[in-house]
Amino acid sequence: MRLSVPAPEDFGVEMVGVPEGAAIELDLRLEAVLEGVLVTGTATVPLEGECARCLDPIASTFEADFQELFVYPDTRSGGNAEDDELRLEDDLIDLEPVLRDAVLLALPLSPLCRDDCPGLCAECGARLADDPDHHHDVVDPRWAALQDLAGEPSPGPPEGGRGDSGPRGSVDQQGKQEG
């Protein structure tokens, strides 16, 4: 059986959800079993939200599969079904809690506009997808004092010398190094 029902309010997670009143397409199979009615189906829902990395709007569709048993009121302990069991009430089935669980638990908490979305620059907020070579030269504050030295020319070797202190120890007259 195919049904189209409007989405209830607050049908989503923080970053993505189903707009209130949007059409949820249900493909259902209802089976009578000994204890009640077994409902198996697929819900196709439209999603709207924003990318968790670049904050661009996202619009897509999503499919969630579900299966739930709705028990008859007169089964399981003489009509006292367990609290976590769903019941048929006056021959009616309330699919909203089942759909909510199936869809919301399967939605990504951090949806992406695409798998390789680079996001936003942490320094200035620019979209990195627009400028892949975007970067900032950031100096570690611990090294900031040395940056002033980088602009000065390095001192040359001392006058009259080679620029190093030579080998350690003394050299005898035959060129052999001692010590």
Asked if 177 and 167 count as a contact pair (C-beta separation under 8 A), the reply is yes
Q: Considering only CA atoms, which of 61, 65, 80 is closest in space to residue 28?
A: 65
Residue range 79-97: mean pLDDT, rounded = 76
Over residues 71-90, mean pLDDT: 68
The band of 78, judged by pLDDT with boundaries at 50, 70 and 90, is very low
Pairing between strand 11-12 and 2-6? unpaired
- 35 secondary structure, DSSP code: S
Angle formed at CA 93 by CA 90 and CA 97, multiple of 5 degrees: 130
Place of tokens 């008859």: 72
Q: What is the pLDDT of residue 149?
A: 74
Q: How many CA atoms lie within 13 A of 95 on its CB side?
A: 25
From 111, 116, 118, select the one nearest 49 (Cα to Cα): 111
pLDDT at 52: 93
Secondary structure (3-state) at 91 = coil
If one compares 174 and 90, the residue with the highest pLDDT of the two is 90
What are residue 2's DSSP bridge partners? 27
Whether residue 47 contacts residue 59, with contact meaning beta carbons closer than 8 Å, is answered with yes
**Tens of pLDDT, residues 27-62:** 999 999 988 899 999 999 999 999 999 999 999 999
Q: How far is CA 41 from CA 30, 67, 91, 92, 166, in A?
A: 9, 6, 19, 17, 86
For residue 45, what pLDDT is reported? 95
Give me the pLDDT at residue 59, please: 94
Cβ-in-10-Å burial (0-12, 13-18, 19+) of 117 comes to: middle
DSSP character string of 10-72: SEE-SSEEEPTTPEEEEEEEEEE-SSEEEEEEEEEEEEEEE-TTT--EEEEEEEEEEEEEEE-
Handedness of CA 126, 128, 130, 134 (dihedral sign): positive
The pLDDT, as a whole number, for residue 35 is 86
Q: Please tell me which residue, 155 or 121, carries the higher pLDDT value.
A: 121
pLDDT reading at 77 higher than 50? no
